[in-house]
Structure 1
Amino acid sequence: MARKAGNTATMWQVADRAGVSQATVSLVLNNVGGTRVNDATRERVMAAVEELGYRTNAFAKSLRSGESEMIGFISDEVASSPFAGRLLKGAQHHAWETGNVILSVDTFNEPDLEAAALDMMLSYRVKGVVYASMYHRLVDVPDRLSEIPTVVVNAQDRAGTVASVFPNEEGGGYAATRHLVEAGHSRIAMINIQPPGSDLPAGIGRLAGYRRALDEAGLPQDEALIRSGDGVVEDGLALTLELLAESDPPTAIFCGNDRTAWGAYRALESLGLRAGRDCSIVGFDNHEMVAPFLDPGLTTVELPYEAMARRALEILLTDSSKMPARTAIDCSLIQRGSVARARKRT
């Protein structure tokens, strides 16, 4: 019979129940290789563990070994974000599969909170730290993280000294624009999510992918078809109206994110037009609260949150000397109803 809650069994009691030494129990529970503990003894020990409800003292184990089975996850607002939270989900799944757990803190970009989170994680002797961002940007990794293995995810270490895992923004921009080219469109506009002088990798990469797809297709680079906003619905609305007012308007628009695409839908509706039928729209993010629920559903590029987190943990749990400097994870095109074949011009 299992012990009642509140009565903590000891390793000595497990040994007594199984009829073995405390050392044998320790060997079994720590799964020490190369021991002479036979299968029958191992089964008796595990049966005693189950009957007594014995739990190892993880903190004491970390004091003895110098390392816990915890992985720190420090982020700005990932855990509380409605879609970037998939980073944490991916990290938790991979940690569980490898016998580890995630110790997560959102710092909301508050230096004091981040410092406290670092103190806590170092005191718990975490195996390493995933340093995550809600959106793809350049980050300055705290000096204290040089003490333990660290991987930046959904961002890039500005100094280039810490392994970074991030979305392949250029590949995503290329895939979005190429999809429009393959649908027969030759007047393809882009509404970016940041000003031309911004150093954010997301907009820089997505614009580069757009340009590469046009070049590959032999289509001209018409700067009149490129607009810059801040990635909000209002900019998508206003800038789409500007584009449609051109003397030779685009037949398709690649929007730098799904919120901008939502604004483009609103602009079309205000003119009595419809996405897909009168102007094809592609977004970026595959925002689960936006893309599937627009009418028609938005064709968009999905950010690989879970894949990035899994890859970050794979890197973290390997020999730190073999950590790659930068790893770009491909983004997937999600097709819905907002892209149609281009109409022949009359």
Structure 2
Amino acid sequence: MKTAGIRDVAKLAGVSVTTVSHVLNETPHTRVAEETRNRVREAAKSLGYGPNRVAQALRTRRSGLIGLLSEEIATTPHAGRIILGAQEAARAHGLTLVIVSTERGDGVTAHQADVQALLDRQVDAILYATMYHRRITLPPNLGAVPAVLIDATDGAGALPAVVPDEVGGGVAAVRHLVEAGHRRIAFLNNDDDVPATHGRLAAYRQVLAESRIPYDENLVGETVSETAEGYELAKQIIARSQPTALFCYNDRMAMGAYRACRELGLRIPQDISIVGFDNQEIIAANIFPALTTVALPHYEMGAWALETAAEMLAEGSDRPAGPFEPVLLPCPLVPRDSVAPPRQA
């Protein structure tokens, strides 16, 4: 079968070849009625015709490729949502995502090589995503093209960055427990020096202060944010302080707390309520009872980063040089079945 060309599209749409070129290449400052644009796009779609990307790249000096560098894609459930958000936003802009997986512990030199691999493929911009919210040291070659950070900041604000609103998410979680009637709320925190650790603790203290609930250090503990450690810490805090509710740094720690409560003969939520953080659905939606938690905006961060990169490309050399303040995206509460009023309420 003969491959359709631009003249075939023009004939089917009843317009000139020039009009087809302007519409499909989205040439700026051209006056083409929206009805005509739609007719051209429908004709091109029905014929399976698209603009010549090679010729387009030579003309605009743009490849239409956006690199996404993400840590531990294969083992991190969050990475998939970031990629999906960026991918769908890229498609809306007629851009193509090129994905490279890197390892968190490899260091700046290895990450510099990963960035170079994308630059060698002539990407127009790079999205740099970390596996959890933290401050990073930028690979020195990341500034070679417009770049956006996802779930990370660089400290100096050299690049636009989007991160979760850790404090806002923590406030939603603890306030949910207070509104259910709880006053003895324990917090099982992470022991890493990262923004989420400090932000979620700040949220816990903020809601207690707003609710005129005294802060009790016996109700707060920190450990490695994994299931086994969450189990041990929950047992310790429940034994020494008899809380009626647990706010856990993440869903993995909450899963450990479920086991501790079961071994101590406590029913969830009749005897003790639990709220997690992250909304890892393979955990939160499938343990019993289903876990009330807070969702991290991974999809939204991926989409925001792509939109920001597209805006920077459109602005060209006139784009602002910074410093940039990180953009905070909301972390909404996801109510399920693990919270109820305390028995004595």
TM-score w.r.t. the length of structure 1 is 0.85
Q: Deviations over 1:252-289 (max 9, x none)?
A: 11000001000111001111211211111100011111
Secondary structure of the 1:289 match is helix
Q: Tell me which residue corresponds to 2:281.
A: 288
Q: Tell me which residue corresponds to 2:309.
A: 316
Partner Cα separation in structure 2 for residue 211 and residue 166 of structure 1: 21
Q: Tell me which residue corresponds to 2:101.
A: 106
Q: Tell me which residue corresponds to 1:329.
A: 329
Partner Cα separation in structure 2 for residue 99 and residue 226 of structure 1: 49
**What is the root-mean-square deviation in Å for CA atoms of aligned residues?**
3.1
Secondary structure of the 2:247 match is strand
Asked if residue 199 in structure 1 is aligned to residue 196 in structure 2, the reply is no
Are the aligned partners of 1:79 and 1:88 in contact in 2 as well (CA < 8 Å)? Answer: no
Letter in 1 for 2:330: D
Q: Tell me which residue corresponds to 2:339.
A: 339
Asked if residue 127 in structure 1 is aligned to residue 127 in structure 2, the reply is no
Q: Deviations over 1:115-137 (max 9, x none)?
A: 44433432443332111011111
Asked if residue 189 in structure 1 is aligned to residue 186 in structure 2, the reply is yes
TM-score w.r.t. the length of structure 2 is 0.85
Partner Cα separation in structure 2 for residue 251 and residue 290 of structure 1: 22
* Change beyond 3 A, Cα 1:124–1:11: farther
Which runs of no fewer than 5 residues in structure 2 stay unpaired? Answer: 313-318
Partner Cα separation in structure 1 for residue 153 and residue 165 of structure 2: 12
* Change beyond 3 A, Cα 1:33–1:315: closer
Q: Tell me which residue corresponds to 1:61.
A: 56
Letter in 1 for 2:206: R
Partner Cα separation in structure 2 for residue 191 and residue 257 of structure 1: 9
Partner Cα separation in structure 2 for residue 62 and residue 277 of structure 1: 63
Displacement of 1:176 after TM fit? 0.8
Which runs of no fewer than 5 residues in structure 1 stay unpaired? Answer: none
Q: Tell me which residue corresponds to 2:258.
A: 265
Letter in 2 for 1:141: L
260-269 or 271-280: bigger deviation: 271-280
Partner Cα separation in structure 2 for residue 91 and residue 232 of structure 1: 28
Secondary structure of the 1:293 match is coil
Asked if residue 254 in structure 1 is aligned to residue 253 in structure 2, the reply is no
Q: Deviations over 1:60-88 (max 9, x none)?
A: 42232111222111111246522331011
Letter in 2 for 1:333: L
Secondary structure of the 1:227 match is strand
Are the aligned partners of 1:161 and 1:325 in contact in 2 as well (CA < 8 Å)? Answer: no
Are the aligned partners of 2:12 and 2:43 in contact in 1 as well (CA < 8 Å)? Answer: no
The structure where helix makes up a greater share of residues is 2
Asked if residue 81 in structure 1 is aligned to residue 80 in structure 2, the reply is no
* Alignment partner of 2:151 out of 151, 154, 163: 154
Are the aligned partners of 1:83 and 1:288 in contact in 2 as well (CA < 8 Å)? Answer: no
**Structure with greater Cα Rg:** 1
Asked if residue 218 in structure 1 is aligned to residue 218 in structure 2, the reply is no
Secondary structure of the 2:167 match is helix
* Change beyond 3 A, Cα 1:158–1:14: same
Partner Cα separation in structure 1 for residue 288 and residue 45 of structure 2: 57
103-112 or 215-224: bigger deviation: 103-112
How many residue pairs get aligned? The number is 335
* Change beyond 3 A, Cα 1:299–1:67: same
Percent of residue pairs identical:
43
* Alignment partner of 2:89 out of 81, 91, 94: 94
Partner Cα separation in structure 2 for residue 330 and residue 34 of structure 1: 37
* Alignment partner of 2:139 out of 131, 142, 155: 142
* Alignment partner of 2:239 out of 227, 237, 245: 245
Q: Deviations over 1:90-133 (max 9, x none)?
A: 11111112222211111124467644443343244333211101
Are the aligned partners of 1:78 and 1:132 in contact in 2 as well (CA < 8 Å)? Answer: no
